[in-house]
C-alpha cells in the first residue's frame, strides 16, 4: 500500500511538472515574469523619477524567445498623460532594459 502511494505521488508530481513546462513554453515562467515586472518598475522609477506610471500588463513574446532566454514586455502609461498612450519596457538583445521612448530618442538623433 505504501509503494502504491509513493508511485501515485510520483506520477502526480510528474504530471504537474509537464503541465508547468507546457504552460511556461507558451506563457513564460511566472516567476521570471514577476521578477521582470519588478525590474521594469525599478527601471521606470529611476529613468522617469518625476512621472508616475501604471503598469497595465506583462506580456510574453513566444516567437522571439528561446530556451533559457525568455522575452517579456511590460506595457505602461504615464498617469499624467490624458490619452493614456501605452509605452513598453523590454530587454534588448544585449540584455539591457530599455523602453520605447528611449529607443525613439536615440534613433531620432
Residue 96 placed within a domain: yes
Overall pTM surpassing 0.85 (yes/no): no
Residue 10 placed within a domain: no
Residue 37 placed within a domain: yes
Q: To which H or E segment does residue 74 belong? A: strand 72-78
Residue 76 placed within a domain: yes
Residue 33 placed within a domain: yes
Q: What is the pLDDT of residue 93?
A: 66
User: Is it the case that residue 8 has pLDDT exceeding 60?
Assistant: yes
pLDDT, tens digit, 9 for 90 and up, residues 37-92: 898 888 888 888 888 888 888 888 766 666 667 778 888 888 887 787 888 888 77
Q: What is the pLDDT of residue 108?
A: 43
Domain count, the chain: 1
| Beta-carbon contacts of residue 87 (< 8 Å; ≥ 6 apart) | 75, 76, 77, 78, 99, 100, 101
Of 61, 96, 94, 95, the residue nearest 75 (C-alpha): 61
Residue 86 placed within a domain: yes
As a whole number of Å, the end-to-end CA separation of the chain is 73
The range of the structural domain enclosing residue 74 comes to 28-108
Listed in sequence order, the DSSP H helices in 28-61 are: 30-47
Amino acid at each position: 500500500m505504501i509503494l502504491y502511494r509513493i508511485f501515485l505521488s510520483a506520477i502526480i508530481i510528474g504530471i504537474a511538472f509537464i503541465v508547468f513546462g507546457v504552460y511556461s513554453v507558451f506563457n513564460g515562467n511566472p516567476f521570471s515574469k514577476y521578477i521582470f515586472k519588478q525590474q521594469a518598475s525599478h527601471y521606470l522609477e529611476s529613468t522617469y523619477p518625476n512621472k508616475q506610471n501604471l503598469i497595465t500588463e506583462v506580456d510574453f513574446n513566444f516567437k522571439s524567445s528561446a530556451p533559457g532566454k525568455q522575452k517579456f514586455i511590460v506595457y505602461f502609461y504615464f498617469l499624467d498623460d490624458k490619452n493614456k498612450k501605452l509605452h513598453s519596457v523590454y530587454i534588448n538583445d544585449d540584455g539591457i532594459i530599455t523602453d520605447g521612448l528611449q529607443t525613439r530618442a536615440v534613433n531620432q538623433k
